[in-house]
Structure 1
Amino acid sequence: MTVVTPSSAGWAYSGLRVVELSGPHTFETGDDEVLVLPLAGSCTVECDGLTFALEGRKDVFAGVTDFAYAPRDATVTVTGEGRFAIPTARASRRLAPRYGPASGVPVELRGAGSCSRQVNNFCTPDTFAADRLIACEVLTPGGNWSSYPPHKHDEERPGESALEEIYYFEVRGSGMAYQRVYGPDIDVLAEVRGGDVVLIPRGWHGPSMAAPGYDLYYLNVMAGPRRAWEICDDPAHAWIRDTWTAQPVDPRLPFGRTVQ
């Protein structure tokens, strides 16, 4: 089981658990708002007297999935078979439990050519209400780069921290991928495989590189003092975006469904 908490990461807001289930799993949300996101399989989610049946999916490359939201200070029971991600964020407000249908998840194709990728915007500030939690899925065909140009989500206000970001990876087959994170006090180029996690407390991140022959999935979990997805490209590489106008989007996209 993958477990990242604010305490274990050494920051203040973002967390993630990935659990393999064969039956019920009950937990207290405490100070966190949470999502239940099927990665492979289906389940029911019970919270505050409500029950949400999640149809789920075969795997992360089969298409978008429905999901459930649970607030802070709640008891949640997930009953199902499969693998489930539970993104979390420290929350100050208690919102109502809710169901997020797969049909309501906007699917966006970003980039072009070898920078083509798919983004499932299921819990971003303009698609789903939450207190601090931001989450989306990125799928990259084998041989392509995503999270490119490199970018960051640093806050510009004195005394405020950057968005704390978690990348959780799955790779189709037994392949590998690579993740770059860099800045004045951080310099990482990591090989990642299915089930690996990279923590990004600050600085530029990208590219996420899918090795040829191996499609790449990652779940982004972000939270900070404000629920604002402020993106700033590394000025040294921002010109790359201008090259996309003359290139088609990779025809292997989208995975599993049409774009909304």
Structure 2
Amino acid sequence: MSTEFHIRAGEAADGPYELDIDPGRAGWGHASLRVLALPPGGSHAFATGDSEWIVLPLNGGCSVAVQGGGTYELAGRKDVFSGVTDFAYVPRDAEARVSSAAGGRFALTGARCTRRLPARYGAASDVPVELRGTGNCSRQVNNFGAAGVFECDKLIAVEVLTPGGNWSSYPPHKHDECRPGEESELEEIYYFEIASAHGSEGLGYQRVTPSGNGRGTDVLAEVRSGDAVLIPDGWHGPSVAAPGHDMYYLNVMAGPGEERAWLICDHPEHGWIRDTWPGQAVDPRLPLYDAPAGDTR
């Protein structure tokens, strides 16, 4: 199994970015992810280039100023396990500045694109919170940047919260070839944060197996907070949360298709598990939280 697809915390740090993955670093064509750390009173300017971006607070709040596109005040959140957050969309070919009075950490999810859409604010109250699966496959999905929810040109991004002891990204699935109406071709980045408990650091596991397409991605990784896994192709799942430690991951996806869609194919040996879900209850620990009512600004 290759280790090139598992990026441990700190291995892709660059200046103010705790994590900086662009298409060149990943060896693909479209998806990017940066995690920006700002001290109290800190700010950081960046050019969007040929990519569209969503600025998503992981912890803390910030303002996002887009040259010619306005300034957006993001209330943010205490951490990824405490609530849905608001966010800001920044178009390609723009200059932006992220500033934070109290400091914090902010994910910049990006995708190379062709259309230049307007800069916009995304309210936390508009984020659909979905409970997916049942039993020990129960998980929560915050669909802030999902296709059909928030308009982007190429970028698809969601958050997944898996209670300790549960499996998510299960059954294993893939989206590495274009089959109209059946499967999208999408690169994907998983970024992890794991809840600590009783003074111990949390951990989880991520599996990716070759599908016969692309680079033959094969990963079995023990993941901890700040780690990322690159998935250019292959069957991905499960994502396993250790008992007692809730798992968060941010999914960033983009691909070459004209249609912005998340169409997946289940692994033929494991897709049957979906048929068992109607007979089980959703994990009572979910949702960990709901989207707030009303605009948070």
Name the TM-score class by shorter chain. Answer: over 0.9
Q: Does structure 1 conserve the Cα–Cα contact (< 8 Å) formed by 2:217 and 2:231?
A: no
Structural mapping, 1:1-260, within 5 Å: 1-22=18-39, 23-49=42-68, 50-80=70-100, 81-157=103-179, 162-173=185-196, 174-183=201-210, 184=212, 185-226=216-257, 227-257=260-290
SS at match of 1:125: coil
Q: Does structure 2 conserve the Cα–Cα contact (< 8 Å) formed by 1:38 and 1:67?
A: yes
In structure 1, distance between residues paired with 2:133 and 2:269: 18
Report the equivalent of 2:8.
none
1:258 Cα offset (Å): 6.3
In structure 2, distance between residues paired with 1:34 and 1:162: 20
Structure 1 unaligned spans of 5+: none
Supply the AA of the counterpart residue of 1:178. Y
1:2 Cα offset (Å): 0.2
Supply the AA of the counterpart residue of 2:72. F
Report the equivalent of 2:11.
none
Percent of aligned pairs sharing the same letter:
65
SS at match of 1:243: helix
Q: After superposing the two structures, state which structure 1 stretch, 126-135 or 46-55, moved more.
A: 46-55
1:228 Cα offset (Å): 1.5
Moved over 4 A (4+): none
What value does the CA root-mean-square deviation take over the aligned residues?
1.6
Q: After superposing the two structures, state which structure 1 stretch, 250-259 or 179-188, moved more.
A: 250-259
Aligned length: 259
Q: After superposing the two structures, state which structure 1 stretch, 114-123 or 250-259, moved more.
A: 250-259
Higher normalized strand content (fraction of residues) = 1
SS at match of 2:218: strand
SS at match of 1:186: coil
In structure 1, distance between residues paired with 2:149 and 2:176: 22
In structure 2, distance between residues paired with 1:259 and 1:151: 31
1:166 Cα offset (Å): 0.1
Q: After superposing the two structures, state which structure 1 stretch, 176-185 or 164-173, moved more.
A: 176-185
1:187 Cα offset (Å): 2.0
1:125 Cα offset (Å): 1.1
Q: Does structure 1 conserve the Cα–Cα contact (< 8 Å) formed by 2:126 and 2:291?
A: no
Q: Does structure 1 conserve the Cα–Cα contact (< 8 Å) formed by 2:189 and 2:228?
A: yes
SS at match of 2:239: strand
Report the equivalent of 2:15.
none
Q: Does structure 2 conserve the Cα–Cα contact (< 8 Å) formed by 1:107 and 1:259?
A: no
The Cα offsets for residues 221-246 of structure 1, whole Å up to 9 and x where unpaired, read as 00001222111100110100011111
In structure 2, distance between residues paired with 1:220 and 1:141: 17
The Cα offsets for residues 22-80 of structure 1, whole Å up to 9 and x where unpaired, read as 21110000011001000000000000340100000000011110000000000010001
Q: Does structure 1 conserve the Cα–Cα contact (< 8 Å) formed by 2:203 and 2:222?
A: yes
Q: After superposing the two structures, state which structure 1 stretch, 144-153 or 41-50, moved more.
A: 41-50
Structure 2 CA distance for partners of 1:253 and 1:84, relative to 1, 3 Å: same
Supply the AA of the counterpart residue of 1:46. A
Q: Does structure 2 conserve the Cα–Cα contact (< 8 Å) formed by 1:63 and 1:257?
A: yes
Q: Does structure 2 conserve the Cα–Cα contact (< 8 Å) formed by 1:162 and 1:201?
A: no
Q: Does structure 2 conserve the Cα–Cα contact (< 8 Å) formed by 1:113 and 1:250?
A: yes
In structure 2, distance between residues paired with 1:7 and 1:161: 22
1:153 Cα offset (Å): 1.1
Structure 2 CA distance for partners of 1:44 and 1:140, relative to 1, 3 Å: same
